[in-house]
A and B are shown apart, each in its own frame.
Chain A
Amino acid sequence: MNRIFIILLFFTLHSRSFFPQSNDDCLMCHEDPDLKTKIGNKTVLLFVNQKSFSSSVHGNLECIDCHTEINFEETPHREELTKVECGTCHDDVQKLYTECLHGKANAKGDALAPLCQDCHGNHNILPVKDRNSVVSPMKIPVLCGKCHREGTPVQLQRNIPKDSILENYSESIHGEGLLKKGLIVSATCVSCHSAHRILPHTDPRSTISRKNIATTCSVCHSEIETVHRQIIRGELWEKQANTLPACVDCHQPHEIRRVFYDYGMSDKDCLECHDNPNIVASIDGKSLFVNYAELKNSRHTGTACSQCHTEVNVSKKRPCETIQKNVDCASCHAEVGAEYLVSMHGSLTAKMDENAPSCKECHGNHGVLGKLNPESPTFATNIPNLCGKCHREGEKATVRYKGSEKDIINHYTESIHGKGLLKSGLTVTATCTDCHTAHKELPHTNPESSINRNNISHTCGTCHHGIEEQFAKCIHSPLVSDTEKKLPVCFDCHSAHEIRRADTEGFKLEIMSQCGRCHEQIAETYFDTYHGKVSQLGYTKTAKCYDCHGAHDILPITNPESRLSRQNVVETCKTCHPAANRQFAGYLTHATHHDPDKYPFLFWTFWGMTGLLIGTFIIAGLHTLLWLPRSLEWRRKLKKMHEDELNSDNDEPVENKSKTEKDEE
């Protein structure tokens, strides 16, 4: 030690008077690879590798540019030098560092706090872009890992809220990209935490605070909104980022993968209070208890509290005290949310109507289950009851409803759909939501509504697709008939909630009056003819409108494909009358005897027969009426005769008596 000192001293004294202290002067001593000193208990190597120094970023600087304390007089210089202030040149970075966790720890005198050279090295600093640089992206995880690896003093002794950081990172998509695939653009520690101003996530200035994390991630994931539009309403990203879940709510820090990991920590914080069954709101006394088991069994099992209750502030002791708004499911369920907003339910909610159902009225809250779970209130077989909570007769929705549909739930239950669902347990049967949609139900008057006249055939067609296809070619389809008149749609014939099987008696007999609502005259004359009369007696086998005309495939008779075209009509008759012939098909199925121009034969036959009937009755009736008084008279006479006979002698011949009577007359 003393020997070195003497040599150093020698060199310094020797050169001082000739030139200002140059690098060569310094290297005279520091070239020695064995040059060491002891500071406290630590041995510090004082060797400066001239080769690596000259190729470093600082290679063209003089030693004294950094080691400013050293002057010409002292050669060799004082043994105890203050540390190099990088900030003299790098004042901007220095400023960041002082605000940084590392800087603050250093200021407090934390021995574990890293200094510039702990990361960057000293004489051998290479440009970041140099692959050999210790701060090149490839090396950053190792560099930070020096302290933030499991088991290091920093990790053990300091308050670092995350575990296994390096391990998790190296398995994360970023780590994999960087370390396994060699993608140097992949995010490293500094990409998220910044290099020089590392701040805790509770600090609002931090790059990883809830407020800023989206911006941080977007540096690389700049188009991420478009990717997330399905589940996150994009415009909120800019306007109200606080109502959205932060990136890290779903993609957990250090563990970022496309799959979501179990949360834990954050929920545990919430449950500290909300696990208590007796917890109530101070405002209205409503229970704030959260059944965590229920949540874990729910559809949102992988969702953390804060993903829905977005306004939490972790820096508060009660993180939820900053919550202002109700949970907005649309933050994630954006498409459904947009539909709900335009729906009747949504528009009532917007008007602050107290009866308006929100998401949780139907879906529940923490226990929300998927619609495929039979336990869920939105499971097919539970839907009639769910909607019935408000739409059953007498409940709040029916009280305000002014339309023509009454007793909806009961009618549905008795309908073919209701029976299919509730009696046969067919979950594919149409329930309320299949026709009205689940989230965008609108009154039928609204052109957007799934049950609007113009949309209903498509709505029914989602299940009855074959019928929809047939109907599109039917004379009743707006695609075929261009008319001002109202064309019939599914519910005009089938009704809305009372839909019956088309082969039930009630339906068969009613359909005639259904057609008759528009085809008034033709229906009336139908009932004048045999088929119509028979059907009125409740006989369903007789030809009804659709037996001849078809149901969903009605075509004008001029169309050769029509069941009633000249080519097909006999075949149509034959379905009931197997021996039907061409002339048989000439039977006038809609004839009336009231139209002398159209059906003169029938008209005159009818009046001929009626004339005969009236004539006969007038003559016979007159005869009878005239007879009546005489007949009465005759009756009295007979009676008297009978009495006389009883009074007189039994032996008296009857003949005489009758003769006397006749004489009197």
Chain B
Amino acid sequence: MSNKNKYVLRFSRLNRILHVCMIVSFLILSLTGMSLKFSYTGWAKVLSKFFGGFESAGYWHRFAATIMIFVFIAHIVDLIRLRKKEFGSWKALLFGKSSMLFNKKDWHDLRDSLKWFIGRGPRPEYGRWTYWEKFDYFAVFWGMFVIGSTGTTLWFSEFFTNFFPGWILNVATIIHSDEALLATGFIFTIHFFNTHLRPEKFPMDIVIFSGRVSLEEFKLDRPYEYKELVEKGELEKYLVEQYPLIVIKGMLFFGWTALAMGFSIIIWIIYAMIFAYR
């Protein structure tokens, strides 16, 4: 059988759904949050009105935050489930080939990538997860912790001030807002570049929605993983059919929308920082 039009399944259905939820909630959070952070700009006021005024925007923000927390919990639950079902032990999960934890190969890949960037070597043979993907993954953990905890403090400020002094709220505000700026900035520039704007992927990579990558592309992009699968003879196990065109189109549309919103936010932030900073 020819593998020419075959696709490799890269993301589980749950992960894809979670990522869509993540995208939706993250966009809502950043749109509503940034409108407050940059409230002195005209776009912030328009945006706030779009969400039905500030009060309503606040409800959107907390609603999206709840979704994101659920996404996070769902992922943790999924990991526990995977440990039982597929890995058998925490060790296998955490230190196996598919682990999101950094391992020796990642350091080598980073080193080789830098060499490749400056023309001192070939493109490294990336595996299942590249080091930048792992970085992105843990950035979410960090963000969930930092933004989530400060956000909750601010949300339930009256409760938390039973245990902390009032100025904690000021500190939490700064951390929440600046970390959010970092998160949005990072996602909408670096992450977007790594996945979509990177010329070889340009203009869009919908693998996170379809979960499928063409075998050809897979071989080139992840040669190490490909080799491993071929060696183990497990490649067939991951081969699937592509979705119908209409579904792909839907995914492209969603992706473009999210991308456009992300870029808009970046432009607004840059505008606010440069032209309206106070």
Chain A residues packing against B (C-beta within 8 Å): 527, 529-530, 533-534, 536-539, 541-542, 577-581, 583-588, 591, 593, 599, 601-602, 605-606, 609-610, 612-613, 616-617, 620-621, 623-624, 626-632, 634-635, 638, 650-651, 654-655, 658, 662, 665
Contact = CB atoms under 8 A, between A and B. Distances in A.
Given A585-B166, A601-B171, A630-B116, A534 B54 contact: yes
A501 B45 CA distance: 23
B39 interface: yes
Contacts of A624: 189-190, 193-194
B24 interface: no
A606 B170 contact: no
A621 to B, nearest CB: 7
Contacts of A658: 216, 219-220
A533 to B, nearest CB: 4
Contacts of B182: 609, 612-613, 616-617
A612 B215 CA distance: 39
B45 A620 contact: no
Interface stretch (B65-73, B93-101, B197-205, B245-253): B197-205
Interface in B39-77: 39-40, 44-45, 48-49, 53-55, 57
Contacts of A529: 170, 173
B13 interface: no
A536 B278 CA distance: 13
Contact of B166 (A537, A587, A662): A587
Given A606-B178, A609-B175, A654-B3, A587 B169 contact: yes
A620 B54 CA distance: 34
A651 B174 CA distance: 61
A605 B54 contact: no
B105 interface: no
B157 A588 contact: no
B56 to A, nearest CB: 10
A534 to B, nearest CB: 5
A602 B190 contact: no
A621 B193 CA distance: 10
Residue of B48, B118, B162, B173 with most chain A CB atoms under a 10 A cut-off: B173
A544 to B, nearest CB: 13
B170 A583 contact: no
B45 A536 contact: yes
Given A613-B178, A651-B2, 4 more contacts: A533-B37, A580-B158, A584-B158, A605-B171
A583 B164 contact: yes
B167 interface: yes
Contact of B200 (A533, A602, A634): A634
Contacts of B113: 627
Contacts, number: 150
A655 B215 CA distance: 10
Contact of B167 (A542, A601, A623): A601
Contacts of A606: 174, 178
B148 interface: no
A139 B65 CA distance: 110
Interface string B179-216: 10110011001100110001110100000000000011
A249 B162 CA distance: 85
Contacts of A634: 123, 199-200
A536 B39 contact: yes
Interface string B150-166: 00000001110110111
Nearest to A591: B170
B54 A538 contact: yes
B30 interface: no
A634 to B, nearest CB: 5
B55 A586 contact: no
B40 A536 contact: yes
B132 interface: yes
A533 B176 CA distance: 15
Contacts of A632: 199
Nearest to A617: B185
Contact of B186 (A537, A617, A665): A617
